Amino acid sequence: MSNQQFSVQTGNEGVETKTQQVISRLANLHPEMLWSTFPLGDYDQYAEIDAPDVLVCFGRDEEELDDGLVDPYSTMLGTACEPSVWGISEEAAKIIQCYNRVFIAQYANCDGPRSLASKH
């Protein structure tokens, strides 16, 4: 699959609209999952510079949704995992990462570019 399939439309629409487009797309792929938004907050420690301030989060139940699961390739403890651990497909995982730009396992030392940039 090309990376273009995982891109989010850009243009004049607002961030909220883009976020809703992503959630809609994910809900079509996995209607059994719960989808919502979560503030970037402390996730900036694991984020790329271009990460949005509002992330897409997922979960199998309200508790997981409330935990703010935003990186399908990482466990809650920060170790790398496959998206199937969370019950989602590789396609959905790529859409989430393309939008959220949060990589918990990659920046396990809380040294993501966005966090480092904010310290300067």
| Tens digits of residue pLDDT in 32-77 | 999 999 999 989 999 999 999 999 999 999 999 999 999 999 998 9
Apex CA 45: angle with CA 40 and CA 49, to 5°?
75
Higher-confidence position of 22 and 115: 22
pTM (2 d.p.): 0.84
- Encode pLDDT of 7-20 as tens digits: 444 443 577 799 99
For the chain, how big is the Rg over CA atoms in Å? 14
* 65-89 b/e (C-beta count within 10 Å ≥ 16 → b): beebbbbbbbeeeeeebebeebebe
